[in-house]
Amino acid sequence: MNEAVRHALNNYAVFRGRTTRRNYWFFYLFLILLNIPTTILDRILFAGRGYVSNLAGLLLLVPLIAAAVRRMHDVGKRGWWLLVPFANIYFLVQPSGPLNQFEL
């Protein structure tokens, strides 16, 4: 999981190339797990107003979108498929495709 998170954060604004299904979902799991302590901090420090969790979400929005675009490339689809509801979820869970035009 550390490798997947490190890879996603090191390539936070790279929208080309590919990301494996394993790395994408480990990064997504990291974001979910990060939400727990940020929500607790919000409740303790700011009466649940969401300052810390919103800031963390905002800071990690671009890395998440970049990882999702690279994941779409891994299954042979363009990143624009992320804008199509339900189709994007279907593509995000697909196994990695063969070599395609998105290879570096």
For 47-95, where are the alpha helices, taking DSSP H only?
Answer: 51-59, 61-74, 87-92
What are the residue ranges spanned by the domains of the chain? 2-92
pLDDT for 104 = 61
Q: For residue 5, is pLDDT > 80? A: yes
Residue 65: the pLDDT is: 96
Tell me 86's DSSP state. T
Contacts of 66 (CB under 8 A, 6+ apart): 8, 11, 12, 13, 14, 15
What's the pLDDT score for residue 81? 94
d(CA 56, CA 101): 33
pLDDT digits (tens, 9 = 90+) for 29-87: 999 999 999 999 999 998 889 999 999 999 999 999 999 999 999 999 999 999 998 99
Place of tokens 């990064």: 27
**pTM of the shown model:** 0.90
